[in-house]
């Protein structure tokens, strides 16, 4: 290497640059070092540098700009950027001869520490750019130094002239904005390249131009398909499959790609962390609103009318925090507020520290008989002056990217039959941007793109500073309305790249009516199929530029598609025609947004982006070709419970934790059920819903100012909670998302906005934090080539894999019910080639492991000499404990770890399970001859009692009830407040071993005993009231009928039921003399126990939760 | 290349599984057959290894696809995954360990009950070098051999001591095993993975007894999904000519 000439080195530098950049001249040398430290030969090797003058004549630069690049030469021969000094107007370069013996170097920059070890004839080169705070020293004897000096001076002259040409007011700005093209190299700079991340030392040092022989498969540049997880893409396998089977090669390729992706993701994350954590973070807000044909508010009203939904939690919300919660208030609006506040409380990073900024939250209303009054909207305080907010440095409530989806934007027949009216979209966009208001950092919002299909509209808005990071914006739509074509139902969608992460946003409107859920499921699949994204015009322009430039580095890129001929209007990505699934027509581009200052005036950013960035775009992408899909929807999915139940449950707050019974209702939510049965949205996640179903604005009608629409028919009635009596309350609007493993996406909020009064539907919003993959394509490609190089051509080779597992028998020791135990295996690759591995099921029809075991990861690739840790977790829960408790099965399993193209390795897994009375059949429990731990002990040889000898009720249940009966009747919060974990464990152990826990319990432990009782009953494989009779129970007319029904139960169940309800009855009687106190306790106990004693069976149709409560009440009522 | 593909097409694939108690030398028998090697101190097999070896028998080429399984009782339940659809099985016992024949018998029973009904089963009494030494050589030589190279990694210290003593080494009489094999309808050989004795004969006789026509018929019949099919890229080190009366498989001609 050291024999290379400067000219040769220059030729190595060129491929590292982009097409718009030129390496002018190179000079090699070493970094000067401190004499105090002895220099070792390796050290000298480490200190080698190549100084290169690089110029750029890229799009963004008004004239030629120059920089001094300093490359480090790695042992592999590869050059990596070590430092960059931009040639600015104040740039300085000096070349000073170094005194051959001792003495101070008399270089321009005199530093004692840098004086010595200079051979005769050497020069100390100093380059610095004071305005950018950069400097660099190099010792060199290169003959090219003269040329370096010349180039630098020329470029400095150019920079000075450029500055002079600027208008006076622009000068300061100009000084910090030159050399934008260097951004591209930032990551290489902080990465210190591949060394740390990839362990570059393992690379073969003899390769001089490494990795070029490796062509990165195109697929690796695209996000992995989200629709089919890797586990499902691997070929079906089980023990005993010959390693030569056809699937093995395909599997290896899948594992290899997965491995490369994970490594890239890791590198990318490490780079970000090294840089400035969180600096590239994007706050995304997704909003969805069925506006029911309403016109947007005027600009003056926009903040008030839309602010809380579009931008932030209204300030009134947080204030509600400090207000004492009003016990008696059942006004939904205020209840919702407090729920919302809780949501933000549980998500610390996003906790909106609300700016004191006026918005529209109605103050808590009052209950006035059954009439609910909500304060008039006009009474809300006017906005606090902007100046106040300016003091907030970084406002966490301000989104960087906002995606708004509208449904029923335009209900006119014209819209349905002919075409959408762009004026409406413009008006809404203007209102939204107005509602977003001024940002605390002075940044501004601009519209990036939108897509409309009849009444559906999706708009992408971003701040000006984030906008350049959004690229390859594409739109699409799918109509699934009447005849599968009409656009009144369907979806509109946007797809874009934010840095290196592909995000897809879908906004859809699905068929109405409760019973239409099959049609909705079908429509959903149609939408998924029809949404196809092709590159929009702007990408074509870049393609053209790239094709002209014939960039040599990316010769492997896909051929450029046909270019769109004339592109004057293309500066507006806005409304660039997307291929419409229905008609193939799009909107003519460039129609809108030209004069309106709110819209982006031109894609300046497009010209600034590196040409190469766009070469790897997918020609056709589906929604699955994303790192993350966000789906905001007016779904029309309803709740599969009787209307009365839904309304009653929503108004009921007797459950100690599940206020308004939201979780009970969500169990029967059609969307959740369809997801569970994998009919729709399989793999999508939805944050926990803590808000109430939408409220029709009937009760607020009186106070709304301008809202009067044909949909408001006078005479409509609301139920006592304010819900329209004609429409069953439901969570019709939802926001779901699905991410690949490598996407760094975190949801931070999910709320409903009942305070918005425009439409008869309520809008919702969700907030996310995204860390986009910020690696440039060039870095990524280099990394991928490096990784491929490390893997070698092993997929095609016959090299036998050889792995060793550190333990053959994994002993989990003693395992308690419901307590996870973790062990780690180490799998080492002792062979010569990389080894793909996966855990396979022992037989074709079995799972990889028992249900109580979890393996992570289940597959991967291990490089020679490296190890992979595999975590095994045993967790025995109510779902899988039955056979373990009865002793029919032991806590034992055999895992088969298959090395692809090699052996099957067996791993024995086991532990000694401590049998528990939890999660057993009631009748079986009553036949136990002794405490379960003793029975399950293999040495005990105890037999189950015969049916006729069985006890009346399981001893364990009776012990708990007996203790509570004599110790806890005066405990106020019994069953309503949680107990203590350690005490609970002790009690459970007592039940299982037969040891007397009773004597050690204090009256204050009552809540813990109560907890154990509820948990024990809830863990039964089938509830105390078996599923087969629950429907009858829910329909009983009176107490006599209820008691009669009890006769049909198995004796054990009946006995448990009677003992328990008798105890609950006593408990209610002890609530005090006041009938309201008794009644409150009665309702609370019913709310807690009905879902336990009559647990739902989600695989059958719903039984009325209210009916269940009534049945229970008829036993515990006085 | 074309040749190889053609011969791969013509060769008849025979799935063979090795079963038997732990430490009787199953892996060593396979290693001798496939690579003509012997490794002292071989680690126990915890799992199942797949090996292939091509053989010529008269005008036919057989490709043995061999599953060498773990002998530990702990993994017994996984064995069916390896012997299902096998056309041949070698059940190995250790001639110096009487209990290993009992285990072999139980394997044979299981195979006859659950495996492919046409399966060819061979019983192999391995480690016969230990008893040959005792019988044929003076006691001093025996001692020397035993001390210098503990013959089999999987032999227990007790067995080594027994071997060293050169006395009462054989725990299973040849006649006894032969009688059992005849009665159960098995092929029978005494083998030594260490010296190679009996190994080629074992696989030759299996090859002869395999109902090849039956295999071919079932392959043609639509065995596209036949386990063990579609095997290319053989890792065979060399082919064995089963016709040649030659005990050194390495020198066998290729087919």
Q: Per residue in A657-715, pLDDT tens?
A: 888 888 889 988 888 888 888 788 888 999 999 888 865 544 443 333 333 333 333 34
Q: Does B64 touch chain A (CB under 8 A)?
A: no
Test B78 with A896 for CB contact under 8 angstroms: yes
Angle at B161 between CA B160 and CA B167, to 5 degrees: 105
Res A37: pLDDT: 53
Sort A948 into a burial class: Cβ within 10 Å, 0-12 / 13-18 / 19+: exposed
Average pLDDT over residues A591-617: 39
How many domains, chain A? Answer: 4
pLDDT higher than threshold 50 for residue A168: yes
Neighbours of A1027 (CB within 10 A): 15
Test B67 with A244 for CB contact under 8 angstroms: no
Question: Residue A352 domain-assigned?
Answer: yes
Which band of pLDDT confidence, cut at 50, 70 and 90, is reported for residue A789? confident
The tokens of A344 are what? 């933000």
**Cβ partners under 8 Å of residue A740, min gap 6:** A223, A224, A226, A626, A627, A628
For residue B227, which residues of chain A lie inside 8 Å, CB to CB?
240-242
Neighbours of A388 (CB within 10 A): 12
pTM of the predicted model over 0.95: no
Test A798 with B235 for CB contact under 8 angstroms: yes
pLDDT tens per residue across span A938-951: 887 888 898 888 89
Question: What's the CA gap between A254 and A732, in Å, rounded?
Answer: 39
Annotate A110-126 with DSSP letters as a single string.
Answer: --GGG-----TT-EEEE
CA distance B79 to chain A (A): 9
Q: Does A902 touch chain B (CB under 8 A)?
A: yes
Q: Higher model confidence: residue A62 or residue A579?
A: A62
Q: Does A482 touch chain B (CB under 8 A)?
A: no
Average pLDDT over residues A792-806: 82
Q: Percentage of residues in chain A with pLDDT exceeding 70?
A: 72
pLDDT higher than threshold 80 for residue A174: no
Test A240 with B65 for CB contact under 8 angstroms: no
The tokens of A294 are what? 């309403």
For residue B86, which residues of chain A lie inside 8 Å, CB to CB?
none
Q: B2-224 maps to which CATH number?
A: 3.40.50.300
Test B230 with A800 for CB contact under 8 angstroms: no
Listed as own residue / partner, the contacts of B137-140 with beta carbons closer than 8 Å and 24 or more positions apart are B139/B166
Q: Does B231 touch chain A (CB under 8 A)?
A: yes
Average pLDDT over residues A1074-1102: 90
Test B227 with A242 for CB contact under 8 angstroms: yes
Q: Does A906 touch chain B (CB under 8 A)?
A: yes
Claim to verify: residue A308 and residue A442 sit in the same structural domain: yes
Test A842 with B231 for CB contact under 8 angstroms: no
Question: Residue A1027 domain-assigned?
Answer: yes
CA distance A798 to chain B (A): 7
ipTM: 0.79
Alpha helices in chain B (DSSP H): 2-10, 26-35, 79-83, 98-114, 128-136, 139-148, 157-165, 174-184, 199-209, 212-220
Test B46 with A798 for CB contact under 8 angstroms: no
Residue spans of beta strands (DSSP E) within A863-932: 867-874, 892-899, 904-913
Res A175: pLDDT: 62
Res A1054: pLDDT: 95
pLDDT tens per residue across span A237-292: 888 888 776 778 888 888 988 898 888 888 887 777 776 666 788 999 999 988 88
Q: Higher model confidence: residue B217 or residue A909?
A: A909
Res B146: pLDDT: 36
Question: What's the CA gap between A38 and A333, in Å, rounded?
Answer: 75
Question: Judging by DSSP bridges, how do beta strands A282-290 and A401-407 pair with one another?
Answer: parallel
Give the gyration radius of chain B's Cα atoms: 18
Q: Higher model confidence: residue A319 or residue A644?
A: A644
Res A929: pLDDT: 92
Claim to verify: residue A257 and residue A287 sit in the same structural domain: no
- Residue A246 — left, alpha, or beta (φ > 0 → left; ψ -120 to 50 → alpha)? alpha
Please check whether residue A857 is in contact with residue A823, taking contact to mean a CB–CB distance below 8 angstroms.
Answer: no
pLDDT higher than threshold 90 for residue B89: yes
Determine the residue among A241, A242, A827 to mutate to test chain B binding: the one whose Cβ has the most chain B Cβ atoms within 10 Å: A242
Q: Is the peptide bond before A394 cis (omega within 30 degrees of 0)?
A: no
The tokens of B80 are what? 């069916």
Question: Residue A610 domain-assigned?
Answer: no
Claim to verify: residue A643 and residue A702 sit in the same structural domain: yes
Q: Does A845 touch chain B (CB under 8 A)?
A: no
3-state secondary structure of A416: helix
Res B165: pLDDT: 47
Res A276: pLDDT: 66
CATH number at residue A1088: 1.10.555.10
Q: For A174-178, A463-467, A503-507, B34-38, which range has the lowest pLDDT when averaged over its residues?
A: A174-178
Q: Percentage of residues in chain A with pLDDT exceeding 90?
A: 28
Claim to verify: residue A264 and residue A295 sit in the same structural domain: no
Average pLDDT over residues A127-155: 85
CA distance A846 to chain B (A): 12
Q: Does A802 touch chain B (CB under 8 A)?
A: no
Claim to verify: residue A151 and residue A187 sit in the same structural domain: yes
Question: Judging by DSSP bridges, how do beta strands B88-94 and B12-20 pair with one another?
Answer: parallel
pLDDT higher than threshold 90 for residue A758: no
CA distance B170 to chain A (A): 32
pLDDT tens per residue across span A978-1010: 889 899 999 999 999 999 888 888 888 999 999
Q: Does A911 touch chain B (CB under 8 A)?
A: no
Claim to verify: residue A25 and residue A110 sit in the same structural domain: yes
CA distance B178 to chain A (A): 31
Listed as own residue / partner, the contacts of A671-676 with beta carbons closer than 8 Å and 24 or more positions apart are A671/A635, A671/A637, A671/A731, A671/A734, A673/A640, A673/A1098, A674/A517, A674/A520, A674/A521, A674/A637, A676/A1098
Average pLDDT over residues A913-937: 92
Q: Does A903 touch chain B (CB under 8 A)?
A: yes
Average pLDDT over residues A575-585: 37
For residue B235, which residues of chain A lie inside 8 Å, CB to CB?
798, 800
pLDDT higher than threshold 90 for residue A396: no
pLDDT tens per residue across span A811-854: 999 999 999 999 999 999 998 889 999 999 999 889 999 999 99
Q: Does A908 touch chain B (CB under 8 A)?
A: yes
pLDDT higher than threshold 60 for residue A543: no
Test B233 with A902 for CB contact under 8 angstroms: no
Test A239 with B75 for CB contact under 8 angstroms: no
Listed as own residue / partner, the contacts of A25-28 with beta carbons closer than 8 Å and 24 or more positions apart are A25/A52, A25/A53, A25/A144, A25/A147, A25/A148, A25/A151, A26/A50, A26/A51, A26/A52, A26/A53, A26/A144, A27/A51, A27/A52, A27/A125, A27/A138, A27/A140, A27/A142, A27/A144, A27/A145, A27/A147, A27/A148, A28/A4, A28/A140, A28/A142
Please check whether residue A35 is in contact with residue A116, taking contact to mean a CB–CB distance below 8 angstroms.
Answer: yes
- Of the three residues A866, A882, A913, the one that is the final residue of a domain is A913
How does the average pLDDT of chain A come out, rounded?
75
Question: What's the CA gap between A309 and A764, in Å, rounded?
Answer: 7
Q: Percentage of residues in chain B with pLDDT exceeding 70?
A: 67
Neighbours of A800 (CB within 10 A): 18
Question: What's the CA gap between B92 and B101, in Å, rounded?
Answer: 8
3-state secondary structure of A998: helix
Of A239, A242, A897, the CB nearest to B231: A242
Average pLDDT over residues A293-309: 83
Which band of pLDDT confidence, cut at 50, 70 and 90, is reported for residue A194? very low
Which band of pLDDT confidence, cut at 50, 70 and 90, is reported for residue A58? low
Of A246, A798, A904, the CB nearest to B47: A904
Annotate A696-727 with DSSP letters as a single string.
Answer: -GGGGGGG-SS---TT--TT--B-TTS-BTTS
Question: What's the CA gap between A334 and A373, in Å, rounded?
Answer: 12
Residue A518's domain comprises 282-371+401-530+621-771
Sort A50 into a burial class: Cβ within 10 Å, 0-12 / 13-18 / 19+: buried
User: Within a 13 Å sphere around the CA of A495, how many CA atoms are in the beta-carbon half?
Assistant: 28
Test A240 with B82 for CB contact under 8 angstroms: yes
Res A487: pLDDT: 65
Question: Residue A945 domain-assigned?
Answer: no
Q: Does B141 touch chain A (CB under 8 A)?
A: no
Q: Does A240 touch chain B (CB under 8 A)?
A: yes
Question: Judging by DSSP bridges, how do beta strands A621-622 and A532-533 pair with one another?
Answer: antiparallel
Q: Does A890 touch chain B (CB under 8 A)?
A: no
Q: For A127-136, A435-444, A679-688, A937-946, which range has the lowest pLDDT when averaged over its residues?
A: A127-136
Average pLDDT over residues B182-199: 95
Determine the residue among B18, B48, B69, B226 to mutate to test chain A binding: the one whose Cβ has the most chain A Cβ atoms within 10 Å: B48
Res A574: pLDDT: 32
Which band of pLDDT confidence, cut at 50, 70 and 90, is reported for residue A450? very high
Res A402: pLDDT: 95
Instruction: Report the residue of chain B nearest A843, measured CA to CA.
Output: B81
Question: Residue A859 domain-assigned?
Answer: yes
Test B50 with A798 for CB contact under 8 angstroms: no
Test A240 with B47 for CB contact under 8 angstroms: no
pLDDT higher than threshold 50 for residue A492: yes
Of A798, A894, A905, the CB nearest to B233: A798
Question: Residue A598 domain-assigned?
Answer: no
Average pLDDT over residues B163-177: 75
Question: How many Cβ pairs within 8 Å bridge chains A and B?
Answer: 65
Instruction: Report the residue of chain A nearest B44, measured CA to CA.
Output: A808
Q: Which of A881-890, A948-957, A964-973 has the highest mean pLDDT?
A: A948-957
In Å, how far from its chain's centre is CA A836?
Answer: 28
Instruction: Report the residue of chain A nearest B67, measured CA to CA.
Output: A240
Burial profile A852-871: b = 16 or more Cβ within 10 angstroms, e = fewer = bbbbeebbbbbbbeebbebe
Res A336: pLDDT: 36
Res B168: pLDDT: 53
Please check whether residue A1096 is in contact with residue A663, taking contact to mean a CB–CB distance below 8 angstroms.
Answer: no
The full length of chain A comes to 1118
Res A586: pLDDT: 38
Which band of pLDDT confidence, cut at 50, 70 and 90, is reported for residue B134? low
Of B48, B77, B230, the CB nearest to A240: B48
CA distance A1093 to chain B (A): 41
Please check whether residue A163 is in contact with residue A89, taking contact to mean a CB–CB distance below 8 angstroms.
Answer: yes
Of A240, A244, A902, the CB nearest to B81: A240
Angle at A792 between CA A788 and CA A798, to 5 degrees: 140
Determine the residue among A241, A243, A244 to mutate to test chain B binding: the one whose Cβ has the most chain B Cβ atoms within 10 Å: A244
Q: Does A235 touch chain B (CB under 8 A)?
A: no
3-state secondary structure of B239: coil
Q: Does B70 touch chain A (CB under 8 A)?
A: yes
Instruction: Report the residue of chain B nearest A806, measured CA to CA.
Output: B46
Q: Does A795 touch chain B (CB under 8 A)?
A: no
Q: Does A242 touch chain B (CB under 8 A)?
A: yes
Question: Residue A837 domain-assigned?
Answer: yes
pLDDT higher than threshold 60 for residue A369: no
The tokens of A837 are what? 């591995």
Q: For A11-20, A172-181, A710-719, A1075-1084, which range has the lowest pLDDT when averaged over its residues?
A: A710-719
| Domain parsing of chain B, residue ranges | 2-224
CATH number at residue A740: 3.60.10.10
Find, among A507, A525, A541, A726, the residue nearest to A629 by Cα: A507
Q: Does B227 touch chain A (CB under 8 A)?
A: yes
Q: How far is CA A540 from CA A367, A574, A621, in A?
A: 61, 15, 16
Find, among A777, A384, A414, A853, the residue nearest to A611 by Cα: A777
Question: What's the CA gap between B178 and B187, in Å, rounded?
Answer: 9
Instruction: Report the residue of chain A nearest B76, measured CA to CA.
Output: A894
Residue spans of beta strands (DSSP E) within A727-852: 733-739, 744-752, 764-771, 803-805, 809-815, 821-829, 835-840
Which band of pLDDT confidence, cut at 50, 70 and 90, is reported for residue A418? low
pLDDT tens per residue across span A28-55: 888 887 555 555 656 677 788 889 999 8
Q: For A463-472, A939-948, B140-149, which range has the lowest pLDDT when averaged over its residues?
A: B140-149
Test A908 with B74 for CB contact under 8 angstroms: yes
Q: What are phi and psi of A25, to 5 degrees?
A: -155, 150
Sort A417 into a burial class: Cβ within 10 Å, 0-12 / 13-18 / 19+: exposed
Burial profile A499-513: b = 16 or more Cβ within 10 angstroms, e = fewer = bbbbbbbbbbbbbee
The full length of chain B comes to 255
Of B46, B77, B81, the CB nearest to A905: B46
The tokens of B248 are what? 């050194």
Q: Does A29 touch chain B (CB under 8 A)?
A: no
Q: Higher model confidence: residue A169 or residue A642?
A: A642
Res A460: pLDDT: 96
3-state secondary structure of A493: strand
Question: Residue A1044 domain-assigned?
Answer: yes
């Amino acid at each position: 290497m050291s024999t290379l000439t400067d000219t040769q080195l220059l030729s190595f530098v060129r491929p590292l640059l982009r097409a718009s950049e030129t390496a002018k001249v190179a000079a090699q040398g070493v970094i000067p070092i401190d004499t105090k430290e002895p220099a070792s030969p390796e050290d000298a090797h480490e200190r080698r540098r190549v100084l290169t003058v690089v110029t750029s004549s890229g799009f963004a630069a008004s004239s030629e700009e120059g920089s001094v690049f300093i490359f480090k030469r790695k042992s592999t021969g590869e050059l990596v950027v070590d430092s960059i000094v931009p040639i600015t107007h104040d740039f300085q370069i000096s070349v000073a001869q170094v005194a051959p013996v001792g003495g101070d170097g008399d270089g321009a920059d005199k530093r004692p520490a840098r004086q010595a070890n200079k051979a005769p004839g050497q020069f100390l080169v100093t380059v610095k750019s004071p305005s950018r705070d950069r400097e660099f020293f190099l010792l060199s004897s290169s003959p090219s130094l003269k040329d370096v000096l010349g180039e630098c001076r020329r470029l400095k002259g150019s920079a000075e002239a450029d500055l002079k040409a600027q208008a006076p007011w622009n000068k300061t700005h100009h000084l910090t904005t030159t050399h934008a093209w260097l951004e591209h190299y930032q990551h290489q700079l902080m990465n210190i390249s591949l060394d740390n991340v990839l362990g570059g030392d393992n690379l073969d040092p003899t390769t001089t131009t490494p990795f070029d022989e490796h062509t990165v498969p195109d697929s690796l540049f695209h996000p992995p398909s989200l629709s089919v997880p890797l586990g499902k893409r691997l070929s079906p396998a089980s023990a005993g499959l010959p390693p030569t089977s056809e699937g093995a090669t395909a599997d290896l390729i899948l594992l290899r790609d997965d491995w490369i992706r994970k490594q890239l993701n890791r590198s990318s994350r490490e780079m970000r962390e090294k840089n400035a954590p969180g600096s590239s973070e994007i706050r995304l807000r997704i909003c969805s609103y069925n506006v029911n044909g309403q016109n947007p508010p005027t600009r003056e009203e926009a903040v008030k009318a839309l602010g809380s939904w579009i931008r932030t939690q209204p300030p009134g919300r947080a204030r509600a925090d400090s207000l004492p919660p009003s016990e008696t208030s059942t006004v939904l609006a205020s209840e919702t507020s407090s729920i919302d506040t809780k949501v933000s409380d549980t998500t610390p990073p996003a906790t909106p520290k609300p700016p004191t900024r006026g918005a529209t939250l109605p103050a808590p209303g009052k209950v006035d008989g059954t009439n609910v009054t909500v304060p008039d909207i006009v009474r809300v305080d006017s906005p606090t002056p902007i100046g106040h907010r300016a003091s907030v440095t970084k406002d966490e409530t301000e989104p960087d990217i906002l995606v708004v989806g509208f449904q029923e934007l335009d209900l006119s027949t014209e819209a349905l039959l002919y075409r959408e009216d762009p004026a409406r979209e413009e008006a809404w966009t203007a209102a939204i941007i107005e509602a977003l208001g001024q940002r605390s950092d002075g940044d501004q919002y601009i519209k990036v793109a939108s897509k409309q299909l009849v009444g559906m509209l999706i708009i992408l808005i971003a701040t000006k500073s984030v906008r350049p990071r959004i690229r390859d914006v594409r739109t699409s739509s799918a109509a699934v309305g009447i005849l599968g074509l009409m656009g009144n139902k369907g979806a509109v969608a946007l797809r874009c790249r934010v840095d290196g992460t592909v995000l897809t946003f879908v906004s859809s409107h699905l068929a109405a009516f409760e019973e239409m859920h099959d049609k909705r499921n079908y429509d959903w699949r149609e939408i998924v199929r029809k949404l196809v994204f092709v590159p929009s015009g702007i990408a074509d322009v870049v393609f053209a530029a790239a094709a002209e430039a014939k960039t040599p580095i990316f010769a492997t890129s896909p051929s450029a598609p046909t270019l769109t001929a004339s592109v004057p209007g293309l500066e507006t990505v806005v409304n660039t025609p997307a291929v419409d699934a229905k008609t193939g027509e799009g909107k003519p581009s460039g129609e809108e947004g030209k004069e309106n200052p709110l819209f982006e005036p031109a894609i300046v950013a497009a010209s600034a982006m590196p040409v190469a960035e766009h070469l790897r775009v997918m020609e056709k992408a589906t929604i699955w070709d994303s790192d993350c899909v966000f789906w905001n929807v007016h779904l029309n999915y309803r709740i599969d419970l009787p209307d009365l139940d839904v309304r009653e449950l929503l108004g009921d707050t007797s459950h100690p934790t599940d206020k308004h019974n939201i979780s009970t209702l969500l169990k029967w939510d059609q969307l959740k059920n369809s997801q569970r049965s994998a009919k729709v949205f399989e793999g999508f996640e939805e944050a926990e819903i803590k808000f109430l179903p939408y409220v029709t604005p009937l009760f607020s009608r009186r106070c709304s100012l301008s809202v009067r629409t044909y949909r408001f028919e006078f005479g409509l009635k609301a139920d006592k909670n304010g819900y329209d009596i004609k429409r069953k309350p439901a969570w019709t609007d939802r926001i779901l998302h699905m991410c690949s493993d490598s996407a760094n996406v975190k949801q931070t909020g999910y709320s409903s906005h009942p305070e918005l009064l425009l439409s008869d539907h309520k809008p919702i919003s969700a907030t996310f934090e995204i860390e986009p993959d910020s690696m440039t394509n060039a870095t990524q490609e280099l990394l991928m080539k490096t990784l491929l190089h490390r893997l070698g051509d092993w997929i095609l080779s016959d090299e036998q894999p050889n792995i060793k597992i550190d333990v053959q028998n994994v002993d989990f020791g003693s395992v308690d019910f419901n307590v996870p135990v973790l062990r780690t295996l180490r799998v080492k690759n002792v062979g010569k080639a990389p080894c793909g591995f996966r855990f396979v099921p022992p037989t074709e029809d079995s799972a990889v492991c028992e249900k109580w075991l979890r393996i992570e990861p289940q597959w991967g690739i291990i490089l020679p000499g490296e190890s992979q840790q595999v975590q095994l977790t045993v967790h025995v829960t109510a779902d899988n404990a039955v056979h373990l408790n009865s002793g029919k099965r032991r806590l034992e399993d055999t895992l088969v770890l298959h090395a692809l193209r090699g052996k099957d390795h067996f791993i024995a897994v086991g532990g000694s399970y401590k049998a528990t009375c939890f999660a057993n059949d009631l009748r079986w429990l009553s036949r136990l001859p002794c405490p379960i731990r003793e029975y399950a002990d293999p040495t005990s040889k105890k037999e189950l009692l015969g049916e006729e000898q069985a006890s009346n009720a399981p001893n364990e249940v009776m012990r708990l009830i007996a203790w509570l009966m004599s110790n806890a009747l005066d405990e106020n919060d019994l069953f309503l407040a949680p107990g203590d974990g350690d005490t609970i464990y002790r009690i459970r152990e007592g039940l299982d071993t037969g040891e007397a826990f009773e004597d050690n319990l204090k009256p204050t432990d009552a809540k813990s005993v109560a907890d154990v009782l509820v948990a024990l009953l809830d863990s039964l494989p089938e509830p105390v009231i078996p599923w087969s009779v629950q429907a009858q129970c829910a329909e009983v007319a009176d107490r006599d009928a209820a008691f009669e029904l009890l006769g049909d139960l198995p004796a054990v169940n009946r006995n448990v039921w009677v003992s328990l309800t008798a105890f609950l009855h006593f408990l209610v009687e002890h609530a005090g003399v006041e009938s309201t106190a008794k009644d409150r306790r009665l309702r609370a106990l019913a709310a807690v126990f009905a879902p336990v004693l009559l647990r739902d069976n989600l695989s059958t149709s719903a039984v009325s939760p209210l009916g269940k409560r009534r049945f229970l009440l008829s036993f515990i009522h006085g | 290349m074309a040749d190889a593909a053609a011969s791969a097409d013509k060769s008849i694939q025979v799935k063979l599984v090795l079963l038997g108690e732990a430490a009787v030398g199953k892996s060593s028998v396979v290693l001798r057959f496939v690579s003509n090697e012997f490794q002292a101190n071989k680690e126990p097999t915890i799992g199942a290894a797949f090996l292939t070896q091509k053989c010529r028998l008269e005008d036919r080429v057989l490709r043995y696809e061999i599953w060498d399984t773990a002998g530990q009782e702990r993994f017994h339940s996984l064995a069916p995954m390896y012997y299902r659809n096998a056309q041949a099985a070698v059940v190995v016992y250790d001639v110096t360990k009487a209990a290993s024949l009992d285990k072999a018998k139980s394997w044979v029973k299981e195979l006859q009950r659950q495996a492919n009904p046409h399966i060819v089963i061979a019983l192999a009494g391995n480690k016969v070098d230990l008893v040959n030494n005792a019988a044929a050589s003076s006691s001093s030589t025996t001692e020397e051999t035993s001390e210098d190279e503990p013959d089999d990694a999987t032999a227990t210290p007790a067995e080594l001591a027994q071997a060293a003593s050169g006395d009462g080494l054989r725990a299973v009489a040849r006649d006894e095993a032969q009688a059992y094999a005849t009665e159960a309808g098995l092929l029978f050989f005494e083998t030594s993975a260490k010296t190679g004795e009996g190994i080629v004969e074992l696989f030759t006789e299996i090859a002869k007894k395999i109902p090849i026509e039956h295999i071919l018929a079932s392959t043609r019949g639509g065995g596209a999904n036949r386990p063990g099919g579609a095997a290319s890229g053989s890792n065979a080190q060399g082919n064995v000519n089963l016709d040649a009366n030659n005990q050194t498989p390495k020198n066998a001609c290729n087919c």
